[in-house]
A = this chain, B = another copy of it.
């Protein structure tokens, strides 16, 4: 009976913020150990990672194809791969590892095309492999609490959703023409690298996923207006949304809203109450029942759900931040993989990680928004 796992990383070199967060998140519970990687196409970067992560020289690869092949043949090969490489190769990398029988945990966006996404799903199903997509905000304890409350009917039927993800970091790109002001953003504005959308693809999808995760609702159609401000890809988006239960709402996604750093805010309104969660102050949940005063739920208190309590790490009032959210993602994901490698049946909360279906919804959402905007905000179904 295995109690620990080995995993590999594709992408996520030391200078990439996201790779480090993955590694730290996975380390929290010491279930998955980083034992192999193809961090970069550059030799020196790979070497730096090998030293930092104290990896065996033979398990640092210069190509992900080689990595998939060799690891799949080792007795002690990786149990799953985390893909934190550039978005444009997600599909190819994921496919390669699946084909070698390795479970895949992929950064969002899953890939660029719906057909690709569905192909990946098909392969995973055929091979009996797990496929997770790292919508990391769903790892927050109080996002899970919101989900528990909403799915249990605490706020009644959802009648309106108001959600946003506002950032300011690309404000200098407005009117910058060819001259990109923000070096970090270069690839985000290159359709060859970022896909058909920058802002909606990068952060709008987090809105879509967080709302879907909290409520269990699916976006049925969107009427979107994307603003490009002279750039090849969108920097700002205002989106009317219709859900599969008939409720409406708005999603606002922006990288040019000055004063907002990483402002994912989700407000769900129901017939019996409402819930609000703010990513920048994530240990709090605002819960209001009809006719009652708004309550400020704190993570870790006695009144939270069993699920939320179970995933609690430190006493209430000690902030759990992004690293803890990643740790929760890995806790659930590795729990599922462990059961799989041990031949156990998965059920219930074992599946409480964003599946490939969530990834597919994200790809569809981006396509629908871009198409709708091209048609001057005509409704487009997902």
Contact = CB atoms under 8 A, between A and B. Distances in A.
Interface in A1-47: 17, 20-21, 24, 27-28, 30
A256 interface: yes
A167 B225 contact: no
Contacts of A28: 24, 323
Contact of A317 (B24, B167, B274, B287): B167
Interface string A226-242: 01010000001010101
Interface stretch (A69-77, A104-112, A156-164): A156-164
A93 interface: no
A245 interface: no
A135 interface: no
A365 interface: no
Contact of A250 (B238, B263, B269, B315): B238
Interface string A300-320: 111100000000011111111
Interface in A241-300: 242, 247-250, 252, 254, 256-263, 267, 269-274, 276, 279-283, 286-298, 300
Contacts of A30: 52-54
A368 interface: no
Interface residues of A, number: 90
Given A280-B317, A293-B295, A248 B238 contact: yes
Contact of A321 (B53, B172, B324): B324
21 contacts: A30-B53, A155-B258, A159-B229, A169-B315, A171-B271, A236-B248, A240-B377, A250-B250, A257-B269, A258-B273, A258-B289, A259-B276, A260-B317, A281-B281, A291-B302, A293-B295, A293-B303, A294-B295, A295-B295, A321-B323, A377-B379
